[in-house]
Amino acid sequence: MAAEFSQTTNSLVRDAPRSAHVAWIFAGLFLGCWLLWLFFATVTVYEISRRARLEVRSASHHVAALVPGKIASTSLVIGRTVEVGDVLIELDATSEKLRLKEEETRLEAIPARIASLQREIEVRERARADDLQSAAAAAEVSKQRIKAADVAVEFAQHTEQRIGILNAGGLASRVDAARTATETLKLTAARDALVSELQRIEWEAQSRAHQHDAEIENLRRFVVTLEGEMATTRATIERLRTEIEKHLVRAPISGRIGDMVPTHAGAYVAEGQRLATVVPAGDLIIVADFIPSLAVGRIRPGQKAELRLDAFPWAQFGSIPATVSRVASEIRDDLVRVEFTPDAAPVNAIVMQHGLLGSIEVSVEQAPPASLMLRAAGLLLSNPARANTTGELAR
């Protein structure tokens, strides 16, 4: 039997599974290399944001109307270079300008009225002084007359005494005695009248002085009223000028007009309506928004990144290298703001300009593939929704 199947036996011996052994050896080597790569190799982990844009380092400023109104004139042109304070739009302020003219005319008339009142006060003060001097002179005349009357009364009394002595001795008649007594009474009455006249002069002078003082005080009070009115008018003028200034929409910074709302003379704008955007000159930075769970604690200043602009396909123009410069510590609109600094100006045909959009990927860490697999499995088990979101961002 052995002799009859010797060729078959030899063929079976020659058909030993060498190729299978070789295949198993290669498979083992591949598995070993893969395990070595899985546990000991490192791969770069990227976080991607598709909401990246180029911005000027100095923030752009929006131009808005401070008050509602109708456009009187406009000089808004996209790309126009403006300086801070340049008038971009003028709103109609005819009513405020007319009121300003009225208040300015009123203010111009007040100083002349005050000067006239002050001159009248000076005239009245001089009239008061002259009246006092005239009263003093009249009083002095009355005093001199009183002195003369005193002398006459004294002489009459002395004569009356002598006539009385002579009458008692029979040397003078009773008629002479009565006449001297009557003369004494007349002179005494005349003296008393002069004294009363002096008092009247003094009282009238005092009354006229009080009257002058009252009139002068009234004029001074009117001057104070006009000065207060002048201050109020000045404040009103300043307020009207401020209101008129609000009707002038000025450039808040120097730069170029990057955006504008189509406007024309006669159009109505509302208060706070955004009319244009002024982009300042300066270095460009990259700004991107990341999901907080992917950025907070993972993206840090100094990490490298690459920006791909939507307007310049990366397969043709390449990407722009950048470095993380700032990471926001607060969440806004469920996103975290991250700022990047371009490492160098692109050498290709890419034009760096404010407002360009794109996507950016940040190298956040170097990790073994096994740890990434375990991390993905843990995320999948703990929060499937978060794992789905991560997968969409990675794609």
Is pLDDT above 70 for 270?
yes
Residues 337 and 241 in one domain: no
Give the pLDDT confidence score for residue 68 in this predicted structure.
Answer: 92
CB 336 within 8 A of CB 327: yes
How many domains are there within the chain? Answer: 3
Q: Which of 158, 181, 205, 136 is nearest to 189 (CA)?
A: 181
pLDDT score for 153: 80
CA 277 to chain centre: 19
Please indicate, yes or no, whether residues 237 and 298 belong to a single structural domain of this protein: no
Which residue(s) pair with 391 in the sheet? none
Confidence of residue 8 (pLDDT cuts 50, 70, 90): low
Same domain, 258 and 134: no
| Bigger pLDDT: 255 vs 171 | 255
- What is the crossing angle of helices 369-382 and 384-394, to 10°? 130
Specify whether 239 is located in the same domain as 252.
no
- As a whole number, mean pLDDT of residues 73-101 equals 90
What is the rounded distance in angstroms from the CA atom of residue 374 to the CA atom of residue 118?
97
Say yes or no to pLDDT of 388 above 60.
Answer: no
Q: Are 88 and 254 in contact (CB under 8 A)?
A: no
Residues forming beta bridges with residue 306, ordered by sequence position: 321, 361
pLDDT exceeds cutoff 90 at 228: yes
Residue 224 pLDDT exceeds 90: yes
Whether residue 229 is found in the same domain as residue 346 = no
In a domain, 201, yes or no: yes
Give me the CATH number covering residue 348.
Answer: 2.40.30.170
Residue 18 lies in a domain: no
84 and 101 share one domain: no
- Work out the number of other CB atoms within 10 angstroms of the CB of residue 146: 18
Q: What angle do CA 223, 225, 226 make, to 5 degrees?
A: 65
- Average model confidence (pLDDT) for the chain? 82
Cβ-based burial of 137 (10 A; exposed 0-12, middle 13-18, buried ≥19): exposed
Report pLDDT for 122: 93
**What CATH number does the domain containing 255 carry?**
2.40.50.100
* Structure token pair of residue 129: 């002084």
Same domain, 100 and 161: yes
Q: Domain residues for 321?
A: 42-57+282-394
Indicate the residue type of 139: A
Q: Which tens digits make up the pLDDT trace of 197-216? A: 888 888 988 888 889 899 99
Tell me: pLDDT of 115 over 90. Answer: yes
Q: Please report the pLDDT score of residue 351 as a whole number.
A: 78
395 pLDDT higher than 70: no
Q: What percent of the chain has pLDDT over 70?
A: 84
Q: What is the pTM of this model?
A: 0.59
Q: Is the pLDDT of residue 391 over 70?
A: no
108 pLDDT higher than 90? yes
User: What digits encode the pLDDT tens for the residues 309-334?
Assistant: 888 888 888 888 999 999 988 888 88
